[in-house]
Structure 1
Amino acid sequence: MKARNNNTLTLDQFKDKHYGKVGTKKRDELEEGYENFKIGALIHEARIEKGLTQEELAAKIGTSKSYISKIENNIKEVRLSTLKKIIELGLGGHLELSIKL
C-alpha cells in the first residue's frame, strides 16, 4: 500500500516504523496480539448480528457474561474448544481452521 501523501502512513508503514519489519520480535508480538483481537472482534460482530446479548451467548454455552466480555475485549485469550462452543452452540455457525505455510 502506498501512502496517500507525505504526512499519511498506511497501517503497514506505521507498523514498520514503530514496530519494525515483519519477522522481528517486536513486530511478531504485535501481529500475534492483533490476531487475538481479531477473534474477539469477530465474535462480537457475529453475536450482534444474531441479536444476542453477552449474557444470552454465555448462557447458551454454559459460561459467564464477564467471560464473553473478556474474550470480545481481548482481555482473555479463548481456547480452541471454547471458541468452537461459542461459534457452534452459541452462534449456530461452523468453525473452520486453516494453516497457511
Structure 2
Amino acid sequence: MKVKNSNVTTLSDFKDKHYGKRGSAKREELEAGYESFKLGALLHEARLEKGLTQEELAEKVGTTKSYISKIENDVKEVRLSTLQKIVEVGLGGHISLAIKF
C-alpha cells in the first residue's frame, strides 16, 4: 500500500498556488516560457547524444555557434523552418508536432 506524504506538493499544485490556474495570464506566461526552455534543452541533449559541439552543429546547418548557443540557452527564439533544418540536417532527426486541447 502506498502512503501519500502530506508534505509533498505536486508541480501542478505548486503552479496553481503561485501562478494561478491554467488560463490565467500569469500561468500562461509561465507555461509559454517553459515550452521555450524545454525546446532548448531538447536540442542541447540531442546535440550531445550525436557527439557534436555547438560549432560542429552550426557548420552543418550554415549558422553560427553563437546562434545555436542562444537557442539552447533560451536567449533567442527559433523559427520553425530553422528548427526543422537544425533537427533534420544537423542532427539527422525529424520534428513531431502536436496540438493539444
Q: Normalized against structure 1, the TM-score is what?
A: 0.90
5 Å-filtered alignment, 1:14-93, equals 14-93=14-93
SS at match of 2:52: coil
Deviates more, 1:6-15 or 1:89-98: 6-15
Q: How many residues align?
A: 98
What is the Cα deviation at residue 73 of structure 1? 0.7
Q: Distance in 2 between matches of 1:30 and 1:9?
A: 18
Structure 1 portions without partners, runs of 5+:
none
Identity %: 72
What is the Cα deviation at residue 18 of structure 1? 0.9
Structure 2 portions without partners, runs of 5+:
none
Q: Normalized against structure 2, the TM-score is what?
A: 0.90
Letter in structure 2 aligned against 1:68: I
1:17-72 superposed Cα distances (whole Å, 9 cap, x missing partner): 11011110000000001011111010001000000000000111111111111100
Q: Distance in 1 between matches of 2:69 and 2:10?
A: 30
